Amino acid sequence: MNLPASISEFLSQSDERLAHRPKLQKLFRNCFPNTLETTTKLLDDGTTFVFTGDIPAMWLRDSVEQVRHYIPYAKEDKDLQRILAGLIARQMFYINIDPYTNAFNETANDKHYRATDDCNMNPWMWERKYEIDSLCFPVQLLYSYWKETGQHDVFTDSCYQALTSIVNVLITEQHHEQKSPYHFIRQTVQETETLQNNGRGLPVNYTGMSWSAFRPSDDANLFGYNIPGNMFAVVILGHIIEIAKEIYNDTRLAERAEKLRKEIDFGIRTYGIVDHPKYGKIYAYETDGYGNYCLMDDAGTPGLLTIPYIGYAGVDDPIYQNTRRFALSFDNPFYFEGKFAKGIGSPHTPGGYVWHMALSMQALTSNNDEEIKELIQTLIDTDADTGYMHEGFHPDDPSDFSREWFAWSNSLFATLICKAMDKGLV
- Domains of the chain, earliest start first: 5-423 (1.50.10.10)
pLDDT at 189: 60
Model pTM?
Answer: 0.97
Burial class (CB in 10 A: 0-12, 13-18, 19+), 310: buried
- Please enumerate in sequence order all residues whose Cβ is within 8 A of that of 61, keeping only pairs 6 or more positions apart, or say none: 102, 131, 133, 134, 137, 216, 301
Count of alpha carbons within 13 angstroms of residue 357, beta-carbon side? 30
Measured distance CA(426)–CA(419) in Å, rounded:
10
pLDDT tens, residue order, the chain (426 aa): 789 999 999 999 999 999 999 999 999 999 999 999 999 999 999 999 999 988 999 999 999 999 999 999 999 999 999 999 999 999 999 999 999 999 999 999 999 999 999 999 999 999 999 999 999 999 999 999 999 999 999 999 999 999 999 999 999 999 999 999 999 999 876 678 899 999 999 999 999 999 999 999 999 999 999 999 999 999 999 999 999 999 999 999 999 999 999 999 999 999 999 999 999 999 999 999 999 999 999 999 999 999 999 999 999 999 999 999 999 999 999 999 999 999 999 998 888 999 999 999 999 999 999 999 999 999 999 999 999 999 999 999 999 999 898 999 999 999 999 999 999 999
What percent of the chain clears pLDDT 70, i.e. is strictly above it? 100
Tens of pLDDT, residue by residue over 331-383, are 999 999 999 999 999 998 888 999 999 999 999 999 999 999 999 999 999 99
